[in-house]
């Protein structure tokens, strides 16, 4: 299975009043994800620790805003979005760059811009390292209109720090150029993503794209013969939906948070990935969402205990599409599309603003694995435990998911499954 996310930033000649800025926030790196062995803590902290806590805080803020505006499924990639906007800030000058990075949540006095970009460089490099147990690919591409003369310093920095490749494009032929970009993304995601680029006009001067692809197997796969093809999933307290429900009795780390009224479960993947599932008590979704804070994730990470669990989990595939130019300003990301934004560091021309921030995410979960990344501590089942006495975790109503990469403590995907049959 795999997870795929594709945000697109389109810079056009038309000036818009909408702002689309990045946002970071500081926090503890634990955030519910497993910690490295204690001996690693004696070594210098990798540069990615300068950015991963802020990416998590960004995710929590964006999630809450999306939850206010949408009643259905939610899914997005915090790593994908934040790295894309941080890349674009390389081309911003003066106050615009400061506004972008500070609205991401960075204190530039404590963490200078150079350290922020170094942190993203370290994060993307580490996530892109080959692994025999999971597949994770991230990439950035710049498509610049052939009439432009971009600054070589911007192109060099984008490639060195973010691995971004630049391509010349003819945006006067919007259909052909759009097909070219979509073909590249389809190739990079092994054909899993096609036709995801939003429409753009002949006024477009630049498209900055990012994709993330994840595929991993469960540490303990579900037995497909145990899956019930028609089991009730309650869209609300009165409306059942009949869907395939996977089942297993296995050792997992979980806890019940009485304060937030929810059950939290960690599921292991092979490799450095962990799925965190949050199941609110009936009617308590809003209470759980209100409790989503860095300190809440930190508290959960300190309280998990392993236990044999009778687990019922939907088999599903969901996706979400967003035009974020109207949402990001509500959480402080408002300067990329400001009329006063100075992105002349990209191409030496003023008054070029971001007109659209589109984001698409897909997650597929079945008996073999999941289409998203996570962080995990691997546990095995003691053979002496009584299989008939396991407590039950029945995900038969809307729940949250957070997908972590363990080594970097990075939140790759976050979302809410309201309707597992919505696609």
Mean pLDDT of the chain: 79
Of 138 and 290, the one with more pLDDT: 290
d(CA 138, CA 5) in angstroms, rounded, equals 9
269: which DSSP letter? Answer: B
Tell me the DSSP string of 164-219: -EEEEE-TTSHHHHHHHHHHHHHHHTTTS--S-SPP--TTEEEEEEEEEEEEEEBS
Distance CA 179, CA 163 (A): 22
Which tokens sit at 44?
């210098």
In contact, 66 and 81? CB cutoff 8 Å: no
Residue 383 in this model has a pLDDT that exceeds 60: no
Q: Looking at domain 224-316+373-417, which CATH architecture does it have?
A: Roll (2.30)
SS3 assignment, position 145: strand
Where b means 16+ CB within 10 Å and e means fewer, 59-81 reads: bbbbbebbbeeeeebbbbbbbbb
CATH number attached to the domain at 3-217+318-363: 3.30.497.10
Domain ranges for the chain, please list them. 3-217+318-363, 224-316+373-417
Do residues 288 and 59 lie in contact, with contact meaning Cβ atoms separated by under 8 Å?
A: no
Distance CA 264, CA 274 (A): 13
Quick check: 311 pLDDT over 60? yes
Confidence band of 349 (pLDDT split at 50, 70, 90): low
| Helix ranges restricted to H, 108-171 | 113-127, 152-162
| Token digits of residue 284 | 């308590």
pLDDT level of residue 389 (50, 70, 90 thresholds) = low
Residue 312 has pLDDT above 80, yes or no: yes
Instruction: Please name which of 373, 79, 361, 409 lies closest in space to residue 216, comparing C-alpha atoms.
Output: 373
User: Does 335 have pLDDT greater than 50?
Assistant: yes
Please check whether residue 360 is in contact with residue 348, taking contact to mean a CB–CB distance below 8 angstroms.
no
Out of 16-20, 164-168, 210-214, which region has the weakest mean confidence (pLDDT)?
Answer: 16-20
Lowest mean pLDDT among 54-58, 136-140, 366-370: 366-370
Q: Which helix (H) or strand (E) holds 88?
A: helix 78-89
What is residue 259's predicted lDDT score, i.e. its pLDDT? 92
Nearest alpha-carbon partner for 260 in 417, 12, 32: 32
pLDDT at residue 372 in the model: 37
- pLDDT at residue 50 in the model: 94
- Using CA atoms, how far apart are residues 384 and 86, in angstroms rounded to an integer? 51
> Of residues 103 and 153, which shows the higher confidence score?
153
112 pLDDT tier (thresholds 50, 70, 90): very high
Q: Quick count: other Cβ atoms within 10 Å of Cβ 175?
A: 8
Distance CA(167)–CA(183), nearest Å, equals 14
Most confident of the ranges 36-40, 186-190, 289-293, 375-379: 289-293
Which of helix, strand or coil describes residue 87? helix
Task: Report the alpha-carbon distance of residue 145 to residue 352 in Å, rounded.
Answer: 13
Return d(Cα 244, Cα 314) in angstroms, integer.
Answer: 6
Average pLDDT over residues 160-164: 94
Radius of gyration of the chain (CA): 21
CB-based burial, 267-278: b 16+ in 10 Å, e otherwise? bbbbbbbbbbbb
* Residue 377's pLDDT band (cuts 50, 70, 90): very low
């Amino acid at each position: 299975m795999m997870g795929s996310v594709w945000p697109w930033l389109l810079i056009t000649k038309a000036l818009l009043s909408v702002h689309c800025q990045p946002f970071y926030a500081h926090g503890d790196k634990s955030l519910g994800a497993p910690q490295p062995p204690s001996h690693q803590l004696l070594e210098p902290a990798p540069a990615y620790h300068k950015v991963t806590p802020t990416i998590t805080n960004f995710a929590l803020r964006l999630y809450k805003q999306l939850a206010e505006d949408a009643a259905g499924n939610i899914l997005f990639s915090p790593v994908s979005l934040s790295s894309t906007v941080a890349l674009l800030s390389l081309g911003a000058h003066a106050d615009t760059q400061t506004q972008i990075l500070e609205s991401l949540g960075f204190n530039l006095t404590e963490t200078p811009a150079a350290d922020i970009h170094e942190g993203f460089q370290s994060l993307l490099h580490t996530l892109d390292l080959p692994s025999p147990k999971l597949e994770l690919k991230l990439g950035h591409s710049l498509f610049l209109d052939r009439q432009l003369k971009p600054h070589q310093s911007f192109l060099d920095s984008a490639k060195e720090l973010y691995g971004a490749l630049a391509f010349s494009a003819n945006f006067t032929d919007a259909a052909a150029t759009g097909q070219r970009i979509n073909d590249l993304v389809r190739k990079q995601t092994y054909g899993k993503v096609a036709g995801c680029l939003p429409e753009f006009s002949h006024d477009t001067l630049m498209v900055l794209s990012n994709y993330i692809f994840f595929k991993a197997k469960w540490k303990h796969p579900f037995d497909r013969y145990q899956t019930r093809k028609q089991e009730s999933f309650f869209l609300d307290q009165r409306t059942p939906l009949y869907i395939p429900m996977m089942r297993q009795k296995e050792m997992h780390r979980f806890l019940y948070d009485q304060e937030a009224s929810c059950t939290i479960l960690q599921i292991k993947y092979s490799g450095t990935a962990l799925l965190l599932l949050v199941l609110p008590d009936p009617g308590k979704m809003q209470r759980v969402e209100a409790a989503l804070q860095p300190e809440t994730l930190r508290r959960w990470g300190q309280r998990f205990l392993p236990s044999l669990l009778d687990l019922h989990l939907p088999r599903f595939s969901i996706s979400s599409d967003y035009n974020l130019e109207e949402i990001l300003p509500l959480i402080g990301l408002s300067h990329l599309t400001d009329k006063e934004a100075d992105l002349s560091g990209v191409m030496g021309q003023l008054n070029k603003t971001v007109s659209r921030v589109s984001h698409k995410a897909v997650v597929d979960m079945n008996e073999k694995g999941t289409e998203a990344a996570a962080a995990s501590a691997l546990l095995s089942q003691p053979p002496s435990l009584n299989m008939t006495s396991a407590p039950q975790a029945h995900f038969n109503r809307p729940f949250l998911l957070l997908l972590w990469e363990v080594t970097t403590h990075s939140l790759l995907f976050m979302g809410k499954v309201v309707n597992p049959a919505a696609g």
